[in-house]
Amino acid sequence: MRSPFSSNKRTAPSVFPENAATPTSKAAMGEMACCAPCGYLYDPSFGDPDGGIAPGTPFEDVPKDWACPKCGARKQDFFTLTPDR
Ligand SMILES: [Zn+2]
């Protein structure tokens, strides 16, 4: 038997902008990380271009030898901020 709702049509967006940054959705791609010593905020959507971290890099993918651009603290001195939805 057929129900009118059985046709599960999904309309996927035909064009998905890969390069479009979405600054409005904060922490959409990962947790922000805060430098404990100086309070510098690492935003995954911005990365740290000066430190060689491309925008869109989650903090967990930041190399261990990366250092805080402000105070030089190591990655282990950062703590992640869980976005409160
Ligand atoms: Zn710092």
Please write the tens of the pLDDT for every residue from 12-42.
555 555 554 444 444 456 899 999 999 999 9
Residue 50 backbone phi and psi in degrees, to 5: -70, -25
At residue 30, the pLDDT reads: 85
What is the distance in A from the centroid of ligand 1 to the CA of 14? 42
At residue 51, the pLDDT reads: 95
What is the distance in A from the centroid of ligand 1 to the CA of 83? 20
DSSP string covering 33-63, please?
EEETTT--EE-TTT-BGGGTBPTT--GGGS-
pLDDT-derived band of residue 55, with 50, 70 and 90 as boundaries?
A: very high
What is the distance in A from the centroid of ligand 1 to the CA of 24? 25
Residue 85 has pLDDT above 70, yes or no: no
What is the distance in A from the centroid of ligand 1 to the CA of 38? 4
pTM of the predicted protein model: 0.63
Indicate the SS3 state at residue 28.
coil
